Amino acid sequence: MSKVQKIWLWVFVAMFVVPEILFYFTPLSILSFLNNFSETNIKSPIYYVVGQQFFTDHIGYLLLAMGIEWFGILGLLIMSIKFKKKILIIGLAILLLWFSAIFGIVNMLSHMELVM
């Protein structure tokens, strides 16, 4: 890998990891799905700073954070395809599909809230 490719790799990793550490999108969505969409006892670190209702009050920030994470996963998937890492391609494709479903549901719910 060239130096430019390594830099882009770290940019895409940061685009995925930083929002995931701060907001726990993937683990919270999986736990919520497994618990029949009831509340989980896990709180992400950002809730200690801004409060638990922040994303329900400001849906645009939630969509922005999820969009950044989605583009990070997409960039990692494209780089994995370029370097022919089959196991990583499968894992990232599954994660991208899962995250696209979450993003779509949140986006649909946000538009329903605006209409009502």
Interval 24-36: pLDDT, tens: 766 666 666 666 6
For residue 53, pLDDT beyond 50: yes
Beta strands, E only, 3-57:
none
The boundaries of the domain holding residue 86 are: 3-115
d(CA 71, CA 67): 6
Would you give the DSSP letter of residue 1? -
Interval 74-85: pLDDT, tens: 999 999 999 888
Q: How many domains does the chain have?
A: 1
Model pTM score:
0.74
54 against 36, higher pLDDT:
54
